[in-house]
């Protein structure tokens, strides 16, 4: 974190807003230091009904529709495992219920690497590296990535091994985990380690909704959909990067076992408490440094945490009746303004509106993207960002949302140049996937694929799933850089630039700025 940002955080305003029964918002402001930003497990302070935290674009708002939460004894906030972590460790309110790399670095500095966040099990590049050594935690410190160790070969929901459609080899292993004797693919644990960002634990009413695209068979592949073990009903599989968990409860149970190293399963009461909390929580950008208030009545109906609490889930928004992010052209043509502040505010708001329009209406050719060009639309298709990012209010995919846009697969994944003059070395592992010759090849990448993270394929064993990652939600982005599941875009500008390269969009400089302003206002 830069000195400037530390200073900004030190002097930031934390605003707690309590929602009255009538829905009127009452603001309670208090100046707080950085210590109050980081939520340590067992802090035992209440999480207000509404709270705002400064971020790189202004402020992110976290809204609890059920009112303030008493965190004392709450399983989301207490260190219920053996390593001192809680769910809140990686789902920080100040980071939009995810975790920014700035916060990770701040924690390292504040604790000398002793914070439970850096637990060796997954807060290090590999558990068997030297503890306390900064290099052992380089992926977490540089990109906010946690190790995810997955069994290989994969197992189905009943624990039976799946016969993969491909073999996997380790080509590059900077963390020395995948080629090691214990955690390596051929090691005693038979694991594959990939490195991913924590997902947002807010707005989950949308993320976990099964109102759209949930049937016994996965809409994009025809394979069996995961089911809720309690109800037996199919789920939408949009929660995890690789869709390996079916419900909020199974995710919580799995995370407690792995990330928290809990030795006993969560109780039914604890699971209910975590699920209720996650379904009452909404997070979105609420204030823009340049654009002012983003909430209604100042902003459009689709922006701000209050909008998230009111929106309908399970709705396709890639249409001009519901929209992904409803803007009503509210900021399309604003008066120039009388004061310099007004002029700047209105100019920024118009930029946000243009960014929305670029997101929603600017066509380009989407090509060679698995599970989008292969689902009946053709390859290539002339469409817009909203074709894939079509879920009303979140910008996720409404259908089971894993696809390969190239964030982890070569040739599109970000890789430092291999040259005698390059100082940067590759941070992530690289795997060689060889698909079976007796089956059809991957339609765009053939039978040999190089990838930093095979994504869904590590769960399904399918060649066509290599490098496919479930689309993430758009909310609170300014509070939780970096972006993509592998943290390869350090800023929103880098994120926009990635898509521009990947799909040869040829955005103008103005379009890039507008898109960044739009995304930063969500």
Partner 1 sequence: MRAAQHVRFAAVALLMPSLLLAAPAPGTRISFVSCPILRDTRSVPCWLSDYQSERYYLTIQSDVSAEVQPPLMGHQVLVEGVVSDAKPICGGVVLSQVHLSAMPEIDANCREELPADDRYTVDFAPRPPGPSGGRLAFTADPSGGGAGPAPRQAPTPATGPQKFDVYFDFDKGVSFRHPSALSSILNAARRGTAKRAVITGVRGAHKLSNGTLLLEAANTGQRRAEEIARLLAGAGLTLPAEVKWTSGEKDADGVDDWKSRRVTVELLP
State the residues that interact with partner 1 by CB under 8 A. Answer: 211-212, 215-224, 314-323, 360-361, 363, 367-368, 373-384, 386, 392, 398, 438, 440-441, 443-444, 446
SS3 22: coil
Strand 448-451 with 292-293, pairing = unpaired
Give DSSP secondary structure letters for 92-105.
Answer: BGGGTTB--HHHHH
Residues 401 and 385 sit within 8 Å (Cβ to Cβ): no
Minimum CB distance to partner 1, residue 221 (Å): 6
Minimum CB distance to partner 1, residue 219 (Å): 6
Residue nearer to partner 1 on the CB measure, 222 or 340? 222
Minimum CB distance to partner 1, residue 242 (Å): 19
Cis peptide before 475 (omega within 30 of 0): no
Minimum CB distance to partner 1, residue 387 (Å): 8
Residue nearer to partner 1 on the CB measure, 222 or 417? 222
Minimum CB distance to partner 1, residue 378 (Å): 3
Residue nearer to partner 1 on the CB measure, 382 or 501? 382
SS3 278: helix
Strand 469-470 with 402-403, pairing = antiparallel
- CA–CA separation, 489 vs 17, rounded Å? 33
Residue nearer to partner 1 on the CB measure, 301 or 318? 318
Residues 424 and 416 sit within 8 Å (Cβ to Cβ): yes
Minimum CB distance to partner 1, residue 237 (Å): 13
Residue nearer to partner 1 on the CB measure, 197 or 389? 389
SS3 14: strand
Residue nearer to partner 1 on the CB measure, 59 or 220? 220
Beta strands in 20-97 (DSSP E): 25-31, 50-55, 58-64
Minimum CB distance to partner 1, residue 222 (Å): 4
- CA–CA separation, 79 vs 112, rounded Å? 20
What's the start-to-end Cα distance of the chain, in Å? 23
Distances (CA, A) of 346 to 98, 248, 407: 30, 40, 35
Minimum CB distance to partner 1, residue 9 (Å): 39
Residue nearer to partner 1 on the CB measure, 272 or 328? 328
Strand partners, 81: none
Give DSSP secondary structure letters for 206-226.
Answer: HHT--SSS-SSB-TTT-SBPP
Residue nearer to partner 1 on the CB measure, 106 or 514? 514
Residue nearer to partner 1 on the CB measure, 21 or 216? 216
Minimum CB distance to partner 1, residue 215 (Å): 6
Residue nearer to partner 1 on the CB measure, 68 or 316? 316
Residue labelled with tokens 């390593």: 83
Minimum CB distance to partner 1, residue 1 (Å): 39
Q: Which two tokens stand for residue 485?
A: 């599941």
Residue nearer to partner 1 on the CB measure, 122 or 464? 464
Name residues whose C-beta falls within 8 Å of residue 470's C-beta, 6 or more positions apart in sequence.
Answer: 237, 238, 239, 240, 241, 242, 243, 396, 397, 401, 402, 456
Distance of CA 366 to the CA centre of its chain: 22
Minimum CB distance to partner 1, residue 460 (Å): 12
Positive or negative: CA dihedral 376, 380, 381, 383: positive
């Amino acid at each position: 974190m830069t000195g400037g940002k530390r200073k900004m955080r030190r002097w930031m305003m934390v605003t707690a807003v309590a929602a009255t029964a009538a829905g009127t918002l009452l603001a309670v402001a208090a100046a707080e230091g950085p210590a109050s930003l980081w939520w340590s497990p067992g802090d035992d302070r209440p999480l207000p009904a509404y709270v705002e935290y400064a971020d790189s674009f202004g402020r992110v708002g976290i809204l609890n529709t059920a009112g303030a939460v008493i965190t004392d004894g709450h399983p989301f906030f207490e260190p219920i495992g053996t390593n001192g972590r809680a769910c809140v460790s990686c789902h920080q309110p100040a980071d939009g219920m995810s975790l920014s790399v700035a916060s990770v670095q701040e924690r390292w500095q504040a604790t000398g690497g002793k914070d439970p966040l850096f637990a060796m099990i997954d807060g290090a590049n590999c558990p068997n590296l030297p503890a306390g050594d900064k290099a052992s935690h380089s992926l977490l410190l540089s990109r906010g990535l946690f190790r995810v160790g997955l069994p290989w070969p994969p197992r189905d929901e009943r624990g039976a091994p799946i016969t993969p459609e491909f073999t996997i080899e380790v080509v590059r292993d900077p963390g020395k985990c995948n080629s090691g004797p214990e955690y390596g693919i051929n090691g005693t644990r038979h694991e594959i380690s990939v490195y991913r960002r924590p997902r947002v634990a807010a707005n989950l009413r949308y993320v976990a909704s099964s109102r759209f695209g949930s049937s016994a068979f996965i809409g994009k592949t025809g394979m069996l959909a995961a089911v809720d073990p309690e109800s037996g009903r199919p789920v939408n599989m949009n929660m995890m990067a690789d869709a390996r968990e079916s419900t909020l409860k199974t995710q919580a149970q799995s995370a407690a076992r792995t990330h928290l190293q809990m030795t006993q399963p969560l109780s039914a009461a604890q699971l209910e408490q975590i699920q209720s909390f996650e379904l009452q929580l909404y997070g979105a950008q609420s204030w823009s440094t340049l654009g002012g208030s983003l909430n209604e009545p100042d902003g459009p109906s689709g922006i701000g945490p209050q909008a998230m609490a009111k929106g309908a889930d399970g709705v396709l928004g890639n249409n001009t009746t519901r929209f992904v992010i409803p803007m009503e052209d509210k900021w399309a043509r604003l008066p120039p303004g009388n004061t310099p502040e007004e002029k700047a505010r209105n100019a920024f708001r118009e930029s946000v509106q243009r960014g929305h329009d670029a997101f929603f209406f600017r066509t380009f050719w989407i090509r060679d993207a698995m599970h989008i060009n292969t689902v009946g639309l053709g390859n290539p298709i002339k469409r817009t960002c909203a074709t894939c990012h079509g879920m009303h209010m979140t910008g996720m995919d409404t259908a089971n949302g894993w696809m390969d846009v190239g964030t982890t697969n070569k040739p599109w994944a970000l890789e430092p140049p291999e040259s005698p003059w390059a100082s940067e070395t590759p941070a992530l592992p690289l795997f060689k996937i060889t698909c079976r010759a007796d089956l059809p090849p991957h339609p765009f990448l053939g039978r040999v694929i190089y990838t930093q993270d095979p994504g869904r394929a590590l769960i399904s064993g399918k060649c066509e799933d290599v490098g496919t990652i479930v689309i993430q939600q758009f909310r609170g982005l300014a509070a939780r850089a970096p972006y993509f599941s592998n943290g390869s875009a350090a800023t929103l500008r880098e994120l926009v630039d990635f898509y521009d390269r990947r799909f040869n969009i040829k955005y103008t400089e103005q379009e890039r700025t507008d898109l960044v302003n739009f995304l930063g206002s969500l």
